[in-house]
Amino acid sequence: MAKPVSFCTCTDTKCPYNPVNHDQGCTPCIAKNLRESEIPTCFFNKIDHPKPTGGWHYEDFAALVQAAKREAPDDAPKKLEVIINEADSIDKCFVNGDKDGITAIMKKAEGNAELSNFSRLWIINECRSALEELEE
Ligand code: SF4
């Protein structure tokens, strides 16, 4: 398996353009999206709101942005605080070479139903990147 792009939040590992299936990073994914007038999954995942449409085209992304703006959550500062606290914990574990601590943070995020999809994937990706760096 190729080394994944650390910030990629796309979970479709069966997609041939997913960075886990080759060693060309984002290039195949971006090329496919440009060819088909679509927006990469990572951009959709960055917005903490359910997709209001089924597609991945420019207009689907615009609809998502509009929906998220209309229904901006009141608890956005709290969600940000959770991410900042977890990032701080990951950093502390990383500095101390505490792989078990990072793994525990990752497992906690995986099982935390209160986290948004974006927050969960962000924390998991940060943990994976930190563990990879500690392995090197
Ligand atoms: S562009 Fe594609 S491959 Fe790159 S991070 Fe986004 S979804 Fe992943």
- Measure the CA–CA gap between 49 and 56, rounded to whole angstroms: 15
Asked whether the whole model's pTM tops 0.75, one would answer no
Residue 42 C-alpha to ligand 1 middle, in angstroms? Answer: 6
Residue 32 C-alpha to ligand 1 middle, in angstroms? Answer: 11
Contact 117, 132 (CB under 8 A): no
pLDDT in tens, 19-31: 999 999 999 999 9
Residue 17: pLDDT band (50, 70, 90) is very high
pLDDT of residue 1 exceeding 60: no
Q: Is the CB of 125 under 6 A from ligand 1?
A: no
Length of the chain: 136
Residue 68: pLDDT band (50, 70, 90) is confident
Residue 100 C-alpha to ligand 1 middle, in angstroms? Answer: 28
What is the structure's pLDDT at 74? 64
Contact 90, 6 (CB under 8 A): no
**DSSP track, 15-80:** STTSGGGSSSTTHHHHHHHHHTTB--HHHHHHS-S--SSS--BHHHHHHHHHHHHHT--TTHHHHH
- Measure the CA–CA gap between 44 and 65, rounded to whole angstroms: 9
Contact 39, 47 (CB under 8 A): no
Residue 16: pLDDT band (50, 70, 90) is very high
- Choice from 9, 14, 29, 121 to test ligand 1 binding pocket (greatest atom count within 8 A of CB): 29
Q: Is the CB of 29 under 6 A from ligand 1?
A: yes
